[in-house]
Amino acid sequence: MNHQDIIKFLEEKTSVAETERVQKWLKDPENESEVRRILGEIWMQSRMETSGSKPDFEGMLNQVHHLISLKEQSILQEPQPILTLQKFYHYFSRVAAILILPLLLFSGYYFIKSTVKYNADVAVSERIITTKPGTRTKVLLEDGTMVWLNDGTTLKYPERFINKERHVYVDGEAYFEVVSNPKRPFIVENPMMNTRVTGTKFNLNAYVADNYFEATLIEGKIGLEKDSRNYEIEPGFQVQYNQTTEKIVNHEVNASISTAWIDGKLVLQNEPLNVAIKKLSRWYNIEIIIQSPELNEYLLTATIQDEKPEQTFKLIAFALPIKYSIKTTRIENEIKRTIYLTKK
Amino acid sequence: MDEDIKFVEALKNNDHEAFDSLFRKYAEKLYLFALSLTKEKFIAEEIVQIVFLKIWDKRLQISEHFCFKSFLFSVAYNETISWIRKENSEKRKIRTFFAITDQTTNETEIKIEFQNLETIANQLIESLPERRGKIFRLSREQGFSNKEIAEKLNISVKTVENQMTSALHTLREALEKTTIMGSLFYFLFFC
């Protein structure tokens, strides 16, 4: 196979038999290096002219932008391989049909992740993210910085960092892995204290409602600013600031403990349902009762991370022939919820 | 490729404008390449989008010292060749059948011409007035500085500079008329 044969094929000037021969040659993985070499040379050394009608390239560019922002948003919703059974993927790919349609052939990789939308209450307009109580999420910023948000946390961030300094706002608890850029300091604003970093891993616990601010440095360097005062922390140290007493404490800690909430996971692997129920019950602090004894032997494989009980059980009911119902009872001003599982 | 180096640097700083510029520069070439291999317009369009999506994803991994054009090829090649390998053999049989009975399954005909850039470039340089062409070759092909050329040919540096400017101007005009993507100097074709 030589250049000329291939160019003839590319220009649609080959006979049916020749076309088939080239296509066969292209398809055969054994020819990989030869195919790559010849096509590469043609790519680099040729100018391509066409007399046909051209597609709408600006439209394609817009579509690419759209895909890029969809992909970035999908980072907000943790990719959750919650249940390993086929039904789960099928359900969610049906929900995402509208998104998948324009990219029929290449959709799988890009859209399965973006369909799981229930973990965080995401108000993406003006790039404000607030996680609901009991849920966590993760955000990828335009510069590559990763931010993990604990529950009940608000993060305000720009779609793009256009100024010299990179500014975001946090009210709540967040763990940052900031992409290093000494020329562009990264500043986390909070009513109690501002945190200035260049390239760092640190955890911030600063719920305004709590009047308590805590910054733990895992790696790198950060500076805290309050009014006109500055404090610098070393890795492995934590600063605590009490807004009410106005006291500041800087002490050494086991930094990894401050971020344990990030990995909070419940892993079930081929767990008989009656055992799985015990674990889920402790995890959610909710009573779960199996009413049909046949269900006890069903095996469940799942990883629970940020899901609320209703969501987890919805998925379990998809994977196994189970119906669930939630009953709420009031006992002395306390609300108690119980989940009942029956065979479908 | 100076231009591409600047674009890639900016792209690595998450500059969307640079990304757009690279797209506008290379999308058509990519489209035609994918189209001539897959013979399907819809697929070629998808490949363009997927490839650039991947370029954005991998932007931090591109080295400014790489030739962007060849990096683009790697991504495009992988995407296109996987499609070709996965393509349903049923479709091919149908297309072959129709080709034999003189009907086409594509809505409109694809007509793409591949021209070897080196050949074009050489022809263009040949068409320059003799001394200008000589000076141009000494500069771009052999890498002599304007001063060295002036010494070699026993003329002033200013003359060399003027001749070069003229040559570049001629080449740029000729290329702009015939190239889809605007001004591409032959010495920029290769990386």
Where does a domain end: A115, A133, A155?
Answer: A115
pLDDT at res. B19: 94
Regarding whether A215 and A128 lie in a shared domain, the answer is yes
Residue B108 lies in a domain: no
pLDDT at res. A55: 86
For residue A333, the domain's CATH number is 3.55.50.30
Regarding whether A250 and A287 lie in a shared domain, the answer is no
pLDDT at res. B105: 43
CA pair distance A66, A44, nearest whole angstrom: 29
Cβ–Cβ gap A26/B37 under 8 Å: yes
CA pair distance A207, A173, nearest whole angstrom: 7
Do A222 and A201 touch, CB atoms closer than 8 A? no
A325-342 confidence digits (pLDDT tens): 888 888 777 777 888 998
Query: What is the mean pLDDT of the segment spanning A139-159?
Result: 83
DSSP state of A115: G
For residue B55, the domain's CATH number is 1.10.1740.10
> In Å, how far are A333, B135, B164, B166, B168 from B161, measured between CA atoms?
91, 9, 5, 9, 11
Query: What is the mean pLDDT of the segment spanning A299-310?
Result: 79
CA pair distance A168, A158, nearest whole angstrom: 7
Q: Could you tell me how many CB contacts below 8 A there are between chain A and chain B?
A: 144
Helix (H) or strand (E) holding A327, with range, is: strand A322-331
> In Å, how far are A21, A79, A273, B75 from B57, measured between CA atoms?
36, 17, 41, 12
Regarding whether A130 and A229 lie in a shared domain, the answer is yes
Query: What is the mean pLDDT of the segment spanning A154-158?
Result: 86
Which DSSP string corresponds to A217-275? Answer: EEES-EEEEETTEEEEE-TTEEEEEETTTTEEEEEE--GGGGGGGGG--EEEEEEEHHH
**Whether the predicted interface score ipTM is above 0.90:** no
pLDDT at res. A292: 87
> In Å, how far are A115, A121, A302, A309, B60 from A342, measured between CA atoms?
28, 30, 19, 16, 51
- Residues on chain A touching B23 (C-beta within 8 angstroms): 57, 61, 64
pLDDT at res. A74: 62
Regarding whether A105 and A155 lie in a shared domain, the answer is no
Where does a domain end: A98, A115, A132?
Answer: A115
Which DSSP string corresponds to B116-176? Answer: EHHHHHHHHHHTS-HHHHHHHIIIIIT---HHHHHHHHT--HHHHHHHHHHHHHHHHHHHH
Cβ–Cβ gap B120/A43 under 8 Å: no
> In Å, how far are A148, A281, A291 from A341, measured between CA atoms?
34, 13, 6
DSSP state of A55: P
Cβ–Cβ gap A45/B118 under 8 Å: yes
The whole domain housing A185 covers 122-261
State if pTM tops 0.90.
no
Chain B's closest residue to A70, CA to CA, is: B53
Query: What is the total count of domains within chain B?
Result: 2
Cβ–Cβ gap B27/A60 under 8 Å: yes
Name the residue facing B112 among A48, A60, A161 (closest C-beta): A48
Cβ–Cβ gap B23/A40 under 8 Å: no
A63-103 confidence digits (pLDDT tens): 888 778 777 766 433 333 333 333 333 433 443 433 333 33
Residue B84 lies in a domain: yes
Regarding whether A128 and A255 lie in a shared domain, the answer is yes
Cβ neighbours, 10 Å, residue A164: 8
Most B CBs within 10 A among A11, A24, A35, A43, hence the mutation to make, goes to A43
CA A220 to chain centroid, in Å, comes to 24
Distance from CA of A114 to the nearest CA of B (A): 16
The more confidently predicted of residues A144 and B177 is A144
To which residue do tokens 């404000």 refer? A128
Regarding whether A97 and A13 lie in a shared domain, the answer is no
Q: Is A39 on the interface with B (CB under 8 A)?
A: yes
Chain B's closest residue to A17, CA to CA, is: B96
User: What is the rounded end-to-end Cα distance, in angstroms, of chain B?
Assistant: 7
The whole domain housing B162 covers 117-189
User: Which pairs with CB-CB distance under 8 Å and at least 24 residues apart come from A178-185?
Assistant: A178/A145, A178/A202, A178/A220, A179/A143, A179/A144, A179/A145, A180/A220, A181/A143, A184/A143
Most B CBs within 10 A among A33, A48, A141, hence the mutation to make, goes to A48
Distance from CA of B55 to the nearest CA of A (A): 11
Regarding whether B40 and B89 lie in a shared domain, the answer is yes
| Touching B: A residues 52-71, CB under 8 Å | 52-55, 57, 60-61, 63-65, 67-68, 71
Cα dihedral B121/B124/B130/B133 (nearest 10): -40
Which DSSP string corresponds to A161-228? Answer: --SSSEEEEEEEEEEEEPPP-TTS-EEEE-SS-EEEESS-EEEEEE-GGGTEEEEEEEES-EEEEETT
For residue B130, the domain's CATH number is 1.10.10.10
CA pair distance A340, A210, nearest whole angstrom: 36
Name the residue facing A143 among B14, B56, B112 (closest C-beta): B14
Report the share of chain A in percent with pLDDT over 70: 76
- Residues on chain B touching A67 (C-beta within 8 angstroms): 49, 53
Do A187 and A194 touch, CB atoms closer than 8 A? yes
Query: What is the mean pLDDT of the segment spanning A171-183?
Result: 88
Paired with A173 in beta bridges are A205
Do A304 and A266 touch, CB atoms closer than 8 A? yes
Where does a domain end: B73, B100, B127?
Answer: B100
Cβ–Cβ gap B180/A48 under 8 Å: yes
Regarding whether B96 and B25 lie in a shared domain, the answer is yes
- Residues on chain A touching B123 (C-beta within 8 angstroms): none
Distance from CA of A16 to the nearest CA of B (A): 7
pLDDT at res. B162: 92
pLDDT at res. A279: 65
Q: Is A11 on the interface with B (CB under 8 A)?
A: yes
Do B128 and B172 touch, CB atoms closer than 8 A? no
Cβ–Cβ gap A27/B20 under 8 Å: no
CA A315 to chain centroid, in Å, comes to 19
Regarding whether A249 and A130 lie in a shared domain, the answer is yes
To which residue do tokens 């609320």 refer? A308
Regarding whether B79 and B123 lie in a shared domain, the answer is no
Regarding whether A233 and A305 lie in a shared domain, the answer is no
Regarding whether B130 and B93 lie in a shared domain, the answer is no
To which residue do tokens 């500085």 refer? B145
Q: In which residue ranges of chain B is pLDDT below 50? A: 1, 97-107, 179-190
Most A CBs within 10 A among B35, B59, B114, B181, hence the mutation to make, goes to B114
For residue A235, the domain's CATH number is 2.60.120.1440
- Residues on chain A touching B20 (C-beta within 8 angstroms): 61
> In Å, how far are A49, A193, A224, A225, B124 from A228, measured between CA atoms?
64, 11, 10, 7, 67
Distance from CA of A173 to the nearest CA of B (A): 27
User: What letter represents residue A81's amino acid?
Assistant: P
Query: What is the mean pLDDT of the segment spanning A165-178?
Result: 90
pLDDT at res. A161: 79
- For the CA atoms of chain B, what is the radius of gyration? 21
Paired with A196 in beta bridges are A187, A223
A180-217 confidence digits (pLDDT tens): 888 888 999 999 899 999 778 998 888 787 677 888 89
